[in-house]
Amino acid sequence: MENSLKIGRFLLRYYWKSLFVCAVLLFVSTIVPFLNIPASLNNLTHQVLAICIISSVCWLCIRTMNGLEAFILKQYDIAATENLKARKMHTQLRVVARVVNVIIITVGFCVVLMMFERVRQLGMSLLASAGIAGIIIGFAAQRSISTLVAGLQIAITQPIRIEDVVIVENEWGRIEEITLTYVVVRIWDLRRLVLPITYFTERPFQNWTRNSADILGTVLIYVDYTASVQAIREKFFEILDQSDLWDGKERGVKVTNTTERTMEIRAMMSASDSSKVWNLRCEVREKLIDFIQQQYPDALPKVRGEILEHKST
């Protein structure tokens, strides 16, 4: 009972204005027959009043839908650390709410049009030639229909969700907004990349938080063959132990490549999300370079050469 009252109070803040307008219009419609309206204006008055009532009912339905969406999403904190379920719910509800709102507006508009005699006659003519009209409308609205289907597909299958970390068009960013026609990606430098929603159903892209936000990061260090790999490994572990960014799960140091001049050392580490792993990589890279400069300056990459003394006879 308490939850029902809480939901009712929450929704009332959304639809009390539209509910008040509906109530006023219904009251007016009950007293109009008792007014002495001229016969010439009687039909027009009823039509205008009916249009207003239909519009207010659509408004009431839309506001109720928006209120339900806001109430449900309030229960799922997208700013939480473990927010996979919350991001799923936010993505689905936002897309579904927009689809429902479009349907409400479309139905209301059609009902209003059917109140006019000429439109009804046109509708009957279209029904009589439904096959031809369907083909014409299908070709004309092919792009719009595919966009709507793509929006529903993303809401159901969820290849992307709100606040997912993605790589699109060689840009790193987070999904900021998903609509029925486009997706807004907030890039790391606060620019916004706006892509058609069909982009995410027709083209490949990277999603770093599809199942979880955990991610691995690597740092590559190039040093001379005289460098002590074990000393670098111990320093790397020390850096991670002192860092708040490391999640304590994965770490390792390996020599992954060698050339005629240097060897490549890869330091691998894990973090709870992509932002933390980026900062952790920068921290590790800076401290390892500083460690090598101070403790093993001779191990920095160098070019060797030999000067041969030429002796004249």
| Distance between start and end Cα atoms, the chain | 111
Q: What is the DSSP letter of 260?
A: S
Question: Are residues 136 and 17 part of one domain?
Answer: yes
Q: Provide φ and ψ at 255, rounded to 5°.
A: -85, 110
How much is the mean pLDDT over the chain? 80
Query: HSE of 135 in the Cβ direction (CA atoms, 13 Å)?
Result: 3
Residue at 58 is within a domain: yes
* 139 in Cβ contact with 158 (< 8 Å): no
Pair 105, 26 in one domain: yes
254 and 272 in one domain? Answer: yes
Model's pTM, two decimal places? 0.58
Q: Please report whether residue 306 resides in a domain.
A: no
Question: What is the structure's pLDDT at 280?
Answer: 94
Q: Are residues 129 and 18 in the same domain?
A: yes
**Residue 26 resides in a domain:** yes
Looking at the fold, whether 123 and 87 belong to one and the same domain comes out as yes
**In a shared domain, residues 120 and 16:** yes
The answer to whether residues 23 and 150 belong to one domain is yes
What's the pLDDT band for 120 if we cut at 50, 70, 90?
low
Give the DSSP letter of residue 302.
-
* Strand stretches in the chain, DSSP E: 165-168, 171-178, 182-187, 192-196, 206-207, 215-223, 251-258, 263-271
Give CA separation, 241 vs 269, 280, 289, in Å: 11, 12, 18
Q: If we measure between CA atoms, which residue out of 271, 291, 141 comes closest to residue 231?
A: 291
Answer whether residue 254 is part of any domain. yes
Mean pLDDT, residues 25-36 taken together: 74
Domain region containing 134: 2-157
Do both 126 and 245 map to the same domain? Answer: no
**DSSP-derived secondary structure letter, 209:** T
Cα 128 to the center of its chain, rounded Å: 44
User: What's the pLDDT tens digit per position in 219-273?
Assistant: 999 998 888 999 999 999 999 999 999 998 999 999 999 988 889 999 999 998 8
Q: Are residues 139 and 241 in the same domain?
A: no
Q: Residue 168 contacts by C-beta under 8 Å, 6 or more apart in sequence?
A: 185, 193, 195, 199, 205, 206
pLDDT at position 119 over 90: no
What whole-number distance in Å separates Cα of residue 293 and Cα of residue 312? Answer: 42
Residue 257 in any domain: the answer is: yes
Mark which of 140, 157, 174 sits at the end of a domain: 157
Residue 297 pLDDT exceeds 70: yes
Structural domain contains residue 307: no
8 shares a domain with 38: yes
- Report yes or no on 312 lying in a domain: no
- What DSSP designation does 193 have? E
Same-domain pairing of 41 and 148: yes
pLDDT tens string 70-82: 877 777 776 666 6
CATH of the domain at 290: 3.30.70.100
> Do 31 and 153 lie in a common domain?
yes
